[in-house]
Amino acid sequence: MIFYKELFHKIEKILWSIFLKPFFFSIDPEKVHHFVVGAMKLFSPIFYLRKSFYHFKSGGKNHPLLEKEVFGIKFPNPVGLAAGFDKNAEVYKQMSSLGFGFIEIGTVTPVSQDGNPKKRIFRLVDDNALINRLGFNNDGVNRVAARLRSKGNIIIGGNIGKNKFTPNEKAKDDYLICFKALYDHVDYFAVNVSSPNTPNLRDLQNINELREILYPLIEENNKRDTKPILIKISPDLNDDDIKKIVDMGLDLKIDGIITSNTTISRNKLKSKEKLTSEIGGLSGEPLTMRSTEIIKLIHEYSKKKLPIIGVGGIMSTQDAIEKLNAGASLIQLYTGFIYNGPSFARNINKEIIKSLN
């Protein structure tokens, strides 16, 4: 069985590096994304067989060194898929078969919206990075919630935001609508106030604005069994502002922080200026160091009291280990998954096991 498993991995690696990645990277990134999602839906039995194979190989058990309990949830492993890939909860079951311990869907908004005009995703291959200005394109929270009714035991995070046309002074209403609609279908919530692609959204990271959004969510949460609520922050905040958010999070008993979203910084990029000057959020390798710095800051400043999901610039298995060592309880992938292919989450899990033995 081990022989066939290793053979499968080698074939998969060859297919990705020699054929699939060059082919995908020759096509517009958003078109590739829609093609991949469509193919995953069409060939979903293959993904279920893949998951069944690993399930059989392990005797139906997760590796004990990978299991983690964070904010009251038992995760089969600490490697999650970040919000943005499966915005509309279409392929979370297929993605879980690729070794992800949890999937974060969204960002979702109360009403469906198309997002910003295309073209709106750009590959910066020389920087192992992406720029996107998608703008919360999604099917609307009710349609997304309907797709999660059969999620089974897959751990799902619900990343929630506001519609583009909703003014900031009414943003709390949008977040509450999404919170109520997803409540019975997700395991935790990520309050997204840090995307650079919705006008003025990042202003909601101001402490007073953020409290206005969180109070109704906490009040609604306390009426029920309570679901973990996390805040997703920007890497462009200065350290003092991050500390203020940490203080507020501890004061309000928020369950954790996700750091970080994409950056508007364009420092020290190698790609052509035509690409680097595109408006939008930058993700990938240029974000690696800053994301890890923020994890360390929050971990130390909160005296380890605030769980952290580390995301941003995880482009190698070593990047993943560094974020966990910096204080992240869990990690998430997006751009690193795009560049490294379908085995990336499993490779990280294997490296985590090695590091703990």
Q: How far apart are CA 177 and CA 164, in angstroms?
A: 15
Q: How far apart are CA 288 and CA 105, in angstroms?
A: 22
Is the C-alpha dihedral spanning 30, 36, 42, 44 positive or negative? negative
Q: How far apart are CA 120 and CA 135, in angstroms?
A: 9
Q: How far apart are CA 202 and CA 187, in angstroms?
A: 25
How far from 111 is each of 93, 167, 214, CA to CA, in Å? 24, 14, 20
Q: Tokens 């897959």 identify what position?
A: 154
Q: Where are the beta strands (DSSP E) in the chain?
A: 68-70, 73-75, 79-81, 102-108, 121-124, 129-132, 156-160, 188-192, 229-233, 256-259, 281-284, 308-311, 330-333
Of 97, 194, 195, 234, the active-site residue reads 195
- Is 316 considered catalytic here? no
| 3-state SS string for 283-303 | EEHHHHHHHHHHHHHHHHHCC
The 281-284 sheet, strands edge to edge: 121-124, 129-132, 281-284
238, two tokens: 């200065």
Helices and strands of the chain, counted as H and E runs: 14, 13
Q: Tokens 């609307």 identify what position?
A: 140
Catalogue the active-site residues.
195
